[in-house]
Amino acid sequence: MAATTDPNLQAWRSAHGALGSRLVDLESLADVAVARTGILTGATAAAWAEADAGLAHAWETYRVLDQVLADAEAAPDRAAVVLTTASVPGAGGATADPARALEAASAAVDAAVAVADRLTEAWARLVPRVGAARTAAATAGDTATEQAAAVLAELVATDPFAVPDSEVAAVEQRAQASSGRHAAAQAAVSRLDADLDAARGHLATLRSDVADATTELAHAATRVVGVSAAAPVPDLDELAAWLDRIAGAAAAAGPGATDARARVANDLAGWTAAFEARRAELDAALAAARTRMRRRREGQGLWTALRAKAGARRLDEQPHVADALTAAQDLLWHAPCDLVAAEAALARLSEVLTTRPKEDR
C-alpha cells in the first residue's frame, strides 16, 4: 500500500487479491501438502511449523481484511476512516491496522515460500543421491553401507534440514568403493579362464627363471662372500599345487556358477599376490648377488689400473707399495672374495700410491 490512509479502494482490493493469489499458489505446492502430513521432524519440522503458523495468520488477515474492505466499499465516504481504524489480525495474530496487517501477512508468505523452496531443494538434491548410494551398495552386496544409506534416507525424508552434505558424500564414497570392488570382482569372474592361463604361463616362466637363478647364485657364492647358494623360492612346488587346486575348483564350478567362480577368482587373486611376492624375492636375491659380483669386477679393474700406475712411476719397486699391491690382489682374486676386506685393501693401496714415503720428503 502507498499509505495507511489511502482511501483508494481499488488499490486495496488489488493488494488484497495479490495476497490471496500468493496464498493459493503456495497451498497448491505438492511439497507443502507433504509437509502438512506430519512426516517432518526435528529442525525441518520446527522451521515448517513456524512458517505454517505465519500462513495461518496470513489467511486470517486475508479473511478479516476482506470484510473491512467490504465495509469501506459500502460507505465510500467513510473509507479512509475505516481503513485507519479497523483492527485486522497481523503478525502472530496480534491486531493491527489494515496496512500493517497486510504487510505482515505478505512477509509471512515470503517466509513460508522460502521454507517451502528450501524443503523442495533439499529433497530434490538429497533423495536421488542417497537412493543411488543405497542401490549401489545393495548391488555390491555391501550390507553395512546399504543400511547406513537407509538410515540416512529416512532422515532425508523427515528432517532434510538436519542432513549435512558431508554425511551424504561419505555414504556415496563408501558405496562407490563397494561398487568398484564389486565391478572388479565381476570382471575377475568374467576373465577367470584367461587369468588361469596367464597364471600357468607365469608359473612356467618362474620355474625356468628359478633354475637359471639357482645356477647363477651357486656360482656367485663361490666367488663372493655373502651370497647364499640356497635355491630361491623353495616352495615353488607348493605354489604349483595351489594353482592346480584353483584350476580344479574353476573346472568344477562351471561357466554358469557365478558365486562359485567368484570365490575361485578371489583365490586366484591370492595366488597371484603370493606369486608376485616370490618373484620379488627371486629378483632381489639375483640383484644382490649381481651387485656383489660387479663390485668384485670393478675392484679387480681398479687394482689393474693402480698396478699400471705404480709400474709407470716405478713405485712398485718400493716394498710398501709392492706389499699393498699383493695384499689387495690376494683378496680380490681369492674365491670366495671378502668384498669388505678387499675394498679396504684397495683404499689402502690408493692411499699408498698418493702418499710420498717419509724419506722422500
Q: What is the 3-state secondary structure (H, E, C) of 232-269?
A: CCCCHHHHHHHHHHHHHHHHHHCCCCHHHHHHHHHHHH
What confidence score (pLDDT) does residue 71 get? 86
Question: How many domains is the chain partitioned into structurally?
Answer: 3
Q: Is 138 in contact with 149 (CB distance < 8 Å)?
A: no
Same domain as 274, residue 199 = yes
- 23 and 122 inside one domain: yes
Q: How far apart are CA 345 and CA 298, in angstroms?
A: 14
In a domain, 262, yes or no: yes
Count of helices and strands (H, E) across the chain: 12, 2
Give yes or no: residues 124 and 227 share one domain.
Answer: no
For residues 95 and 132, membership in a common domain is answered with yes
In the block, which residue shows the cell 678387499?
342
- Please, which residues have CB within 8 angstroms of residue 155's CB and are 6 or more apart in sequence? 162, 163
Tens digit of each residue's pLDDT (9 = 90 or more) over 204-243: 999 999 999 999 999 999 999 999 988 888 999 999 999 9
Residues 151 and 225 in one domain: no
What gap in Å lies between CA 306 and CA 206, rounded to an integer?
42
DSSP 215-228: HHHHHHHHHBTT--
DSSP 340: H
Q: What is the pLDDT at residue 99?
A: 84
Determine the pLDDT at residue 357: 59
The alpha carbon of 226 is separated from its chain's Cα centroid by a whole number of angstroms, namely: 45
Residue 3 inside a domain? The answer is: no
* Statement to judge: residues 155 and 267 lie in one domain: no
pLDDT at site 1: 43
Is the backbone peptide bond immediately before 336 cis, with ω within 30 degrees of 0?
A: yes
Query: Could you tell me if 263 and 331 lie in one domain?
Result: no
- Say if 131 falls within a structural domain: yes
Task: Answer yes or no: is 1 within a domain.
Answer: no
C-alpha cell at 14: 488489488
Which of 181, 215, 231 is a domain's end point?
A: 181
SS3 89: strand
Residue 59 sits in the same domain as residue 91: yes
Domain boundary among the residues 131, 160, 181 is at 181
Please state, in angstroms and rounded to a whole number, the distance separating the CA atoms of residues 60 and 301: 106
Look at residues 136, 209, 216, 124 and name the one whose alpha carbon lies nearest to residue 177: 136
- Which has the closest alpha carbon to 130: 108, 158, 107? 158
How distant, in Å, are the alpha carbons of 16, 258, 266 from that of 255?
75, 7, 16
Final residue before a domain boundary, out of 291, 326, 341: 291
For residues 217 and 349, state if they share a domain.
no
Q: Is there a domain that residue 315 lies in? A: yes
Same domain, 198 and 256: yes
Structural domain span for residue 320: 295-360
Q: In the chain, which stretches have pLDDT less than 70?
A: 1-7, 185, 188, 255-257, 356-361
What's residue 244's pLDDT?
A: 94
pLDDT in tens, 53-66: 999 999 988 988 88
Whether 29 and 133 share a structural domain: yes
Rounded to an integer, what distance in angstroms lies between the CA atom of residue 310 and that of residue 317? Answer: 9
107 within a domain of the structure (yes/no): yes
What cell was used for 145? Answer: 553401507
Write down the pLDDT at residue 290: 96
